[in-house]
Structure 1
Amino acid sequence: MADMKSVEGGCHCGVVRFKADVDLSQTMECNCSHCSKKGFVLTFTPADHFKVTSGEDNLTEYRFNKKQIAHLFCSTCGVQAFGRGAMPDGTKTAAINVRCIDDIDLAALKPQQVDGKSF
């Protein structure tokens, strides 16, 4: 990750908050049933570059398909700011919903299109 940037973000109601080091030149939009319905733009970072700073006890988990990713959402407002899983090599990772990063300029990003329907 060449262009690491420290960011903060969270859910809509502010109960769940996080800090992360991310590379915003590496974002993606997936066309799977889950990502497309929620309108996610995602970036991934190693788990040790991600920290929940508040609201961990307010998170609810949703898993589907192969149940490899813990899709976590705020039980108060329902926003999914991030999920937890592992890369194909087993490295633990956080999948961050870029739309939940504070003061993000979405227009400046160039997300890679991923054909998640085919996974």
Structure 2
Amino acid sequence: MASQSQGIQQLLQAEKRAAEKVAEARKRKNRRLKQAKEEAQAEIEQYRLQREKEFKAKEEAALGSHGSSTTEVEKETQEKMFVLQSNFQKNREEVLNSLLNLVCDIKPEIHLNYRING
């Protein structure tokens, strides 16, 4: 009977050690999965940054001509504004005098639609 209880004790201890080893293996597995996930995230981020950089380079190459056309349009606009301002300054006095003459030169006349009742 003593040998049976001793055998049972040995089996229980062996079972306990096996359970501890399984638990330790699960912990190692979980740590490794977490580490693999972190490595994958870092790799994905690096790939995303690389692709974004390539996209920016291609976008810059495609829009490079667009940027110069924008500058060209702004330059033309400034030139047209300058011409308009100079024409305004040049013709301002003449237009004002013409308007004043039209307003101040009063010719009293009877309107065509006016009827004299009587």
Q: TM-score, normalised by structure 1?
A: 0.12
Q: Highest Rg: 1 or 2?
A: 2
Higher strand share: 1
Q: TM-score, normalised by structure 2?
A: 0.12
- Structure number with greater CO (CA < 8 Å, separation at least 6) is 1
Higher helix share: 2
